[in-house]
Amino acid sequence: MTADDLTRKKCKPCEGGTAPLKEAEIRNLLGRLDGWEYANGRIAKTYQFKNYYQTTAFVNATAWISHREDHHPDITLGYNQCRVEYMTHAIKGLSENDFICAAKLDRLFEL
């Protein structure tokens, strides 16, 4: 599976009782993403921009993708950077949904 494969998928509802991904699955999926790191049960990436306008445009695009996928990250916004962190709160761990959304965010830079 590649990052392109992930961007073609849609998030599936994930409820309590579903097991989080195992370490090997996380490492496998993380290897398909560029610049994402895994720590403290989350995947995260900090995106750099030239200015505040570009940063907020990215945050708005992230909100749009999150709404469409019904899977929402934690976002920290600064003047020229934005940190995005994913974790599936319902299962207190990572699911494939986190990696699908991460791949879709990275794809924004190919538009």
Can you tell me which residue has the tokens 């998928």?
A: 9
One digit per residue, the tens of pLDDT, for the chain of length 111 reads 566 788 888 888 877 678 999 999 999 999 999 999 999 999 999 999 999 999 999 999 999 999 999 999 999 999 999 999 999 988 999 999 999 999 999 999 876
Longest dimension (CA), the chain: 43
Instruction: Break the chain into its structural domains and give their ranges.
Output: 20-110
pLDDT at 11: 84
pLDDT at 111: 64
The C-alpha atoms of residue 44 and residue 110 are separated, in whole angstroms, by 20
- Alpha helices, H only, the chain: 3-7, 23-30, 52-69, 96-107
CATH code linked to domain 20-110 = 3.30.1360.20
